[in-house]
Structures are given as structure tokens and as C-alpha cells.
Amino acid sequence: MQLGLIGLGRMGGNMKARLQAAGHEVIGFDRDPTLADVAGLPELIKALVAPRAVWVMVPHGKPTLEAVHALAELLEPGDVVIEGGNSRWTDDIENAAFLAKKQIGYIDAGVSGGVWGRENGYALMVGGSDADVARVQPIFDALKPEGEFGFVHAGDVGAGHFAKMVHNGIEYGLMQAYAEGYELMVACDVVDDAAAVIKSWRKGTVVQSWLLDLLDRALDADDDLSELRGYAEDSGEGRWTLEAGIDNAVPMPVISAALFARFASRQVDSPAMKVIAALRNQFGGHAVASS
């Protein structure tokens, strides 16, 4: 197939390379002219043969919205837009309705695989009509890992990014569990080598996973993680997952705790814990530490 690809950063650039290796023609545009094949979006659309397929791989929010609205003025009826960023699923429904007025199709594609996707393949969770998804299925087949797993047509528009949102919420919980287990082994004087224990878990255990493999890789490079600061951002999906849980009365104690742990990691000196210290001092005369 022929595909236009907007956004050639770490993910988009590797996706382009994987698609080209599979024999597809990919014409890419990026704000960085050293990465782009064409000078702008009009040139990109002109280079594609109708009916066109254009994949948007830029940060969610305003950049994605701007790209979708720009494409709406350039594409023609029968073309299709694939949105592959980590957008909120409700944004997809609005984008699809906007493009539908111009008879342009829309697919939301949740993409997982990170910097390893070029070699190992990308797990894809897509939402859209049966006809739109079937039309670009060769692209999805080239990007996904080999074998029966790694791709799902999760439902209509919005289902792809909703599934990816839940995936990332689960990821928060898994990472937090590994992190807490590692910290406990380091904190006690029973285990001599916590990194070696992590390495041993990679085969034959019920907690083995790709995330565990990556933790082992990180510990091989920095055995006590002393080169890192214990600071973790969140990209939004964890928050959206919890909001969906609240809206549907689904309890999510693990994912919520993992998200709040990230918030705590950004506090050099927690105002909340200052309150706790002050209260303990007031009611019990417990000692306090001065700043």
C-alpha cells in the first residue's frame, strides 16, 4: 500500500522504516525538514494516489487536532485518516464526526511497542468502521508483531484509544508493583543482590514479562539506579482510565495508587507530610525535623 505519515519522531520514524521494509510506500512529513520527504501537508496529499490513507503520529491534544483539521481541508471524499497518538477516545469521536461531514473516514489506533517496535512489531488496538479498517489492514499487518497476537479491531471509533488507555492504566499498576518489590528487597538485609533476583524472575515465574525484562536491562546498566532521580511523569492515560472507572463505578485501587505514587515522586518536600508531622507534634508531642 501507499501511506502518508505525519510525524517522524521516535515512533513515527521507526514505523516508517518497518513499513518500508515490508514493501509499502511511505511518504512522510515532519516539521523537521531533515526527516521529511515533502515540504508540507499540501505536497504530501498531492504525492498520494486517491483514495488516500494518511496516518497522523503527533502528540495528542492540540497538535493532533490541528493536523486533523488541516487534513480536512486537503483530503477528498473516500480518503481515510488514521490517528495513532495517545489521544483521548472522546476526542476521536469528535474528530470522526468532523471528518464525516466531508465523507472522510477515520480510524483511531492505539499503538504500543515504544522504541522496540521497529524490530519486534507494534501492538495495535484500532477503532473504526469495518470498511475503513479492512481497507488499511495491510498497513496494520505490517506493523504488528508476527503471529496471531498484537492486533485487535476493538470496535467503532474511539474503541482503539479506549483500549490503549486501559492498557496504559494496567501498565502503571504493573510498573508500580515491580518498583515496590525491588525497593523492599533493597531496604531489607536479607537479600544480598536484588538485581540478581530480578534477573532470575525472567524465566519460569508467574511475574515474568517484557516490563520485567526491561527492568533487568536497566539494572544491568546501573545496578543500584543511582544515576536516576526518582521522578516519574504521567502522560494522561492513567488519569483518563481512573475517570472512566469513576464514570462507570469500577473500583481501581491498584491503578489509582500507581498514579498517585507518580504524583508523590515529584514532591521534594510534601506539604501533606508536613501537615502530618505538625499534627503528630501537636497531639502527641512527637519530634519534628526542621527544614
The catalytic residue positions are 164, 171
Residue 281 is placed in which grid cell? Answer: 507534634
**Alpha-helical regions (H) of 73-223:** 89-100, 117-120, 130-135, 137-143, 159-187, 194-200, 210-221
- Helices 159-187 and 210-221: crossing angle, nearest 10°? 50
C-alpha grid cell, residue 45: 496529499
Report which of 230, 212, 223, 213 is spatially closest to residue 267, judged by C-alpha positions: 230
Under 8 Å between Cβ of 8 and 44:
no
Q: How far is it, in rounded angstroms, from Cα 145 to Cα 67?
A: 28
